[in-house]
Amino acid sequence: DRPGPTAGAENLHSEHRLLKPAVKLDTDMMKMETDKIMDDSISNTQFTTTLMYDPARKKEPSPSYQTERDACLALFAKWNEADQLNYVEHILSRMCHYQHGHINAYLKPMLQRDFITLLPTKGLDHVAENILSYLDAKSLCRAERVCKEWSRVISEGMLWKKLIERNVRTDSLWRGLAERKGWIKYLFIPRPGVTLRQHKFYRELFPKIMKDIEAIENNWRTGNHNLQRINCRSENSKGVYCLQYDDDKIVSGLRDNTIKIWNRSTLQCCKVLTGHTGSVLCLQYDDKVIISGSSDSTVRVWDVNTGDMVNTLIHHCEAVLHLRFNNGMMVTCSKDRSIAVWDMTSPTEIALRRVLVGHRAAVNVVDFDEKYIVSASGDRTIKVWNTSTCEFVRTLNGHKRGIACLQYRDRLVVSGSSDNSIRLWDIECGTCLRILEGHEELVRCIRFDSKRIVSGAYDGKIKVWDLQAALDIRAQTNSLCLKTLVEHTGRVFRLQFDEFQIVSSSHDDTILIWDFLNCSQKEELTAPQSCSMVQGNHHNNSGSSSGSGSSMGGGGGGGGNGVGLGNNANQNHLHNNSNNNSHNLQNDELSD
């Protein structure tokens, strides 16, 4: 039977009466636990404080407190430091948590020090300056607004000047801007007497520099540039195969068997080096020598200042397609499928150290550092060799057709191929990190720095890629190509770049300078074609030779590469290997 309303109410009251003792029991248990915790905290000095001080619980001092306190302080003053500390520890151990909170709030400001303000009072201004000199620009701005003393330390320490100098020392973009804009003359100079006006100059210079940097980065993203054109056409010429540049000159290797040196200011040819009997396919120079490789199978060494030929190396039996030298060592590669490693004592003393054999087709390009030699071939592979021992290390496989170009730095290898793709590799584990696609024909030349990859191809286009995004596996493929530059009317053979410009050469007999710094107005300058001829003095020395030193010039230095190029009947070929048989994959068709 269902209970009536009265019975239900009685049951409810009955249940309520049963609940009351349980609630009282829970409250008593909580009080007991709290008392136990308080007792434990008093007896255990290591007990963790969890309750903050409540100001409402503070009570007024007792009437006897003043007299007793003075007596205690008098005794406290007589004790040594160790006794005083021990006494305070005993007092703290007998306090409850909210008292600990009050003491903590009292001690916190006492334990903090404005060391920047205090150091000069001790005669340590230089220490305060040194500490603040490690701040970045944003933090330095904030530090100036802390107080007048901090602002004084920053001003008298010329910390904005030091910040600019630090960036110029460590960042090539800052260094290049300092040289091109002319404000480097205000840096790295002693400060006999620092004035507020001098500090203000550097304080105002910094945001101007940042504005210039932002403009340059935006020009790279949008492709905004000024274009300068050097016409290299001659009676026998049809293509500029390789180049390297610095602030004063551009050195180029041409199909007419010459090396032409161009003045950067006037864009005029100031020297022509003759001596090769075949197309100049690759070159590299430093402050002492120019070293070039040719389809005549020779490597020639030239004095960079006089243009005289000082050495000729005869080793390869077919065209020398690429070379690199640095720190007393040179590596050359050839259409004969071999790689030669040379020891360079001087421009006239170059000795063959080792010949590396392993590729099954023409070796189109080499690069190296103190750890690895890296080579790429028409056989579709990249091979890695130990620099010191010249022993084979590993092969990087992935490209579907012959590899035309690569650059290697640190752990990263970037390669371009006749399969129209670019691949990024980790040299240590041999894995492909990213494939970049966008070119419509063979990727002939490629360079990278810490921010960008720049590639040139037989489709006549130069593409700028975001390197950091390419190395990020989360980045979308369609966002990697920042800009495509189209000005060449023929195949792009060679390019180099730095933070401010790209310099490229092409089958169309031109060298183009893409300026991303000075591009407030779009203009195109064409250089006059007058040249002064310099006949090289010939010194033949089979198997010995050259000057050491690291490469100079933009885009990481290094000579140009002639990709599998030959000299028979003025035909130049890129080689690929299919079914272990080397054959002509694609013709350059460079005959006039």
Question: 523 or 78: which carries more pLDDT confidence?
Answer: 78
**Considering only 123-132, 150-159, 229-238, 388-397, which range has the smallest mean pLDDT?**
229-238
What are the E-state strand segments in 475-520?
481-486, 492-497, 501-506, 510-515
Residue 438 lies in a domain: yes
- Residue 125: partners with Cβ closer than 8 Å, 6 or more residues away: 119, 153, 156, 157
Quote the pLDDT of residue 150: 87
For residue 59, pLDDT over 50 is answered with: yes
**Considering only 38-47, 162-171, 353-362, 568-577, which range has the smallest mean pLDDT?**
568-577
In terms of domains, do 218 and 241 share one?
no
For residue range 256-265, what is the model confidence (pLDDT) as tens digits?
999 999 999 9
Quote the pLDDT of residue 51: 47
Task: For the chain, give the percent of residues with pLDDT over 90.
Answer: 58
Quote the pLDDT of residue 250: 97
- Residue 406: partners with Cβ closer than 8 Å, 6 or more residues away: 365, 367, 374, 376, 382, 413, 414, 415, 416, 446
In terms of domains, do 466 and 489 share one?
yes
In terms of domains, do 283 and 141 share one?
no
For residue range 497-543, what is the model confidence (pLDDT) as tens digits?
999 999 999 999 999 999 999 876 444 444 444 444 444 444 444 33
In terms of domains, do 332 and 371 share one?
yes
Query: How many CB atoms within 10 Å of residue 174?
Result: 20
For residue range 297-338, what is the model confidence (pLDDT) as tens digits?
999 999 999 999 999 999 999 999 999 999 999 999 999 999
Report d(CA 124, CA 352) in Å as an integer. 60
Q: Kindly state the tokens that stand for 345.
A: 């004592």
Helix, strand, coil in percent for the chain, rounding step 5: 30, 35, 35
Torsion of CA 156, 160, 161, 167, to 10 degrees: 150
Given a contact cutoff of 8 angstroms between Cβ atoms, the answer to whether 412 and 449 are in contact is no
For residue range 195-228, what is the model confidence (pLDDT) as tens digits?
667 888 888 899 999 999 999 999 999 999 999 9
Residue 531 lies in a domain: no
Nearest to 401 by CA among 364, 434, 446: 364
Quote the pLDDT of residue 123: 82
Residue 87 lies in a domain: no
In terms of domains, do 131 and 150 share one?
yes
Report d(CA 317, CA 267) in Å as an integer. 36
Alpha helices in 79-227 (DSSP H): 81-93, 97-111, 115-121, 125-132, 137-144, 148-156, 159-170, 172-181, 196-222
The domain containing residue 385 runs over which residues? 226-515
Quote the pLDDT of residue 381: 98
Quote the pLDDT of residue 182: 87
Quote the pLDDT of residue 42: 46
In terms of domains, do 264 and 406 share one?
yes
In terms of domains, do 252 and 327 share one?
yes
Residue 486 lies in a domain: yes
In terms of domains, do 242 and 339 share one?
yes
Element (H, E) at 14: helix 5-43
- Taking residues 488-496, what's their average pLDDT? 96
Residue 585 lies in a domain: no
Quote the pLDDT of residue 294: 98
In terms of domains, do 264 and 179 share one?
no
Given a contact cutoff of 8 angstroms between Cβ atoms, the answer to whether 489 and 458 are in contact is no
Torsion of CA 262, 268, 270, 275, to 10 degrees: 60
CA angle 485–460–418, rounded 5-degree value: 115
- Taking residues 489-502, what's their average pLDDT? 96
- Taking residues 126-154, what's their average pLDDT? 88
Residue 369 lies in a domain: yes
For residue range 539-557, what is the model confidence (pLDDT) as tens digits?
444 333 333 333 333 333 4
Quote the pLDDT of residue 201: 87
Quote the pLDDT of residue 18: 40
For residue 269, pLDDT over 60 is answered with: yes
In terms of domains, do 278 and 407 share one?
yes
Q: What is the DSSP letter of 457?
A: E
Nearest to 514 by CA among 499, 528, 527, 529: 499
User: Looking at residue 507, which CATH number applies to its domain?
Assistant: 2.130.10.10
CB-based burial of residue 217 (10 Å sphere; 0-12 exposed, 13-18 middle, 19+ buried)?
Answer: middle
Domain end position, chosen among 472, 495, 515:
515
Question: 195 or 273: which carries more pLDDT confidence?
Answer: 273
Domain end position, chosen among 198, 222, 246:
222
Quote the pLDDT of residue 498: 95
Q: Kindly state the tokens that stand for 43.
A: 């007896």
Quote the pLDDT of residue 520: 60
Q: Whole-number mean pLDDT of the chain? A: 82
Query: How many CB atoms within 10 Å of residue 529?
Result: 13
Torsion of CA 144, 150, 156, 158, to 10 degrees: -40
Radius of gyration of the chain (CA): 38
Torsion of CA 159, 160, 164, 165, to 10 degrees: -30
Residue 217 lies in a domain: yes
User: Looking at residue 138, which CATH number applies to its domain?
Assistant: 1.20.1280.50
The total of structural domains in the chain comes to 2
Quote the pLDDT of residue 126: 86
- Taking residues 395-419, what's their average pLDDT? 97
Domain end position, chosen among 466, 495, 515:
515
In terms of domains, do 296 and 379 share one?
yes
Q: Kindly state the tokens that stand for 208.
A: 């101007």
Q: In what order do the strands lie in the sheet with 226-231?
A: 492-497, 501-506, 510-515, 226-231, 524-526
- Taking residues 245-264, what's their average pLDDT? 96
Quote the pLDDT of residue 56: 58
For residue range 33-58, what is the model confidence (pLDDT) as tens digits?
545 544 554 444 444 444 454 555 55
For residue range 279-299, what is the model confidence (pLDDT) as tens digits?
999 999 999 999 999 999 999
Alpha helices in 450-564 (DSSP H): 467-470
Residue 144 lies in a domain: yes
In terms of domains, do 333 and 365 share one?
yes
